[in-house]
Amino acid sequence: MTTRIIARLDIKGPNLVKGVHLEGLRVLGKPWAFAKHYTEQGIDELIYMDAVASLYDRNGLLDFVERTAREIFVPITVGGGIRTLEDITAALKVGADKVAINTAAIKNPELINRAARRYGTSTIVVSIEAQQCASGRYECFIENGRQSTGKDVVEWAMEVAERGAGEILLTAVHREGTGNGFDIDLIREVDNAVTVPVIASGGAGEVAHVVDALRGGGVTAIAIASMFHYGALNGQVLRPEDFSEEGNISFLRSGVIGYRAKAISVDALKGELTAQGISCRRLPSVEAQT
Amino acid sequence: MTMEARECCRIGIVDYGLGNLFSIQQGVIRSGMQPFISSNAHQLASADGVILPGVGAFGDAMEALRQCDLIDPLKDFAKSGKPVMGVCLGMQLMMEESVEFGRHQGLGLFPGTVERLTPNVEIGDRYKVPHIGWSHIQPPGGSTAAKVGVPVRWCGTLLDGLSAGEYVYFVHTFRVGNTTPEAILATTTYGGDTYCSAIERDNVSAFQFHPEKSGAVGLRIYQNFATRVALSVLGDSGSAGMRSNSML
């Protein structure tokens, strides 16, 4: 089984952003430069999440999806603000391969059945934003981790798989952006409960965390944001024009990254995983340079 | 093969309401050909080559092809000798029948059936269905075939120039079974289940994976298709194009 290493790009307006617990978004630069860099490094898939779409009813991501699909030939999942079958059609039409649905699926679970029937189960990813409550139980959140639903994560995962989700993107909001490691118990519980693939997201700060999620959590797909983003920034593969004037980029100008996640490139991560006996797809041309 | 010859080639992408047509279109453009998307049998018949895409359920897809009156025209196009390429569900539709949600008849361009993937649970419960991700393609022949280097089997086919064990991107729940061994171009193993992941006979080829999502490896397949289409066009006005392609 070859592990899938997926880059997750949270996008706000024209910018790639990164927050902590999906909040306090920092602008990192223009998403295109990052997406292109990751692809050249051998990324297995890209996930684009519109960080504000389900709050402000925006679908501004589609132009960016189209540009990516024109120039990059790897799978693209689009999430954030997908509410209707028409939204799904629009995303697929500009080159998305899969759509990730959270809020709309919780509010109208029947949407999963209809979407899976129309576009095939493998096109429909249900995104679950999980937070651990005081009782230790995991609860589903919507609206980018802001609003509680009372739904139990494991029960909901089983329901969405039954309804036709081909994949589950599981984000631990309480770990997201912290660099403190994945929530292994959560990953294992959900992965054991469903027969469809689960993508673990939220918390990756170093290679050991990724190994834990794969070995301890049991998943075969990992979504990573900060480690790669800061890797791209530190590696100086980005030029000044890759940054926009919008948003708060003062922390970038100051040169202080100040972040717990250890920066790494896509290929370097795959190289370290391979050395630990975890099967990864590496591009021969990139591997030869390292 | 000159680029000019390719630029004149018009590739019809069959639109029956399913599939990621945009990415296939980009793959065609990248390989130097002109794509057009159509559900019209007459327009498609005028194409120099046809791509049959598809995602979703087999029965629904065949019903959609029927409603577009495309079933016989697609069979006729394949018989005409012009190049045809199937992708993902498009490959499955080319088989005789499927057992997905009941029995459904396919286009019958290849013998064989479409069955559910059956990863062996003994190997471990990590092999989930759908199979989503990058897996190897190998030339057929089990342990006797060389698993490295450029397989002789792939010379002159749409996998020409690729090495054994190359990674390509899969998204599927069903796969082809019981087809004629001579037509099998590549196999893939998922959770102990080894199945036909690429098939080719004469002018008709199909892939269970997505060449348009498989990076440089997949683009090579589109380029090979472009070369084949251009040779077929030249062959119509001169010597036999397909033959010269397989002898290159």
- Average pLDDT per consecutive 10 residues, chain B (248 residues; last block may be shorter): 73 86 95 96 97 89 95 98 97 94 93 92 77 96 67 95 96 94 96 96 98 96 97 73 43
Q: B-side interface with A, Cβ within 8 Å?
A: 18, 20, 22-23, 26-27, 30, 55-57, 60, 89, 124-130, 132-135, 167, 169, 171-173, 191, 210, 212-216, 218-219
**Which tens digit of pLDDT belongs to each residue from B198-245?**
999 999 999 999 999 999 999 999 999 999 999 999 887 654 444 444
Q: For the segment A69-93, what is each residue's pLDDT rounded down to a tens digit?
A: 999 999 999 999 899 999 998 899 8
SS3 of chain A: CCEEEEEEEEEECCEEEEEECCEEEEEEECHHHHHHHHHHCCCCEEEEEECCHHHHCCCCCHHHHHHHHHHCCCCEEEECCCCCHHHHHHHHHCCCCEEEECHHHHHCCHHHHHHHHHHCHHHEEEEEEEEECCCCCEEEEECCCCEEEEEEHHHHHHHHHHHCCCEEEEEECCCCCCCCCCCHHHHHHHHHHCCCCEEEECCCCCHHHHHHHHHCCCCCEEEECHHHHHHHHHCCCCCHHHCCCCCCCHHHHCCCCCCCCCCCCHHHHHHHHHHCCCCECCCHHHHHHC
Distance from the A58 Cα atom to the nearest Cα atom in chain B, whole angstroms:
22
- The structural domain count of chain B equals 1
Taking the Cβ of residue A107 and every Cβ of chain B, the question of whether any pair is shorter than 8 Å is answered with no
Residue-range domain boundaries for chain A: 4-278
CA distance A85 to chain B (A): 13
Q: Which of B127, B130, B213 sits opposite A74 (nearest CB)?
A: B213
Asked if B56 and A120 come within 8 Å (Cβ–Cβ), the reply is yes
Respond yes or no: is residue A129 known to be catalytic.
yes
Q: How many CB pairs under 8 A join A and B?
A: 99
Determine the structural domain holding residue B138 and report its residue range.
3-247
Q: Which fold has domain A4-278?
A: TIM Barrel (3.20.20)
Min distance A24 CA to chain B CA atoms (Å):
32
Instruction: State ipTM.
Output: 0.91
B101 to chain A: closest CA residue: A117
Residue contact B172–A122, C-beta within 8 A: yes
pLDDT at A129 over 90: yes
Per-residue pLDDT at B132: 95
| CATH code at position B151 | 3.40.50.880
Between A69, A73, A95, which is nearest B219 by CB?
A73
Catalytic residue among A44, A45, A87, A129: A129
Q: How much is the pTM?
A: 0.92
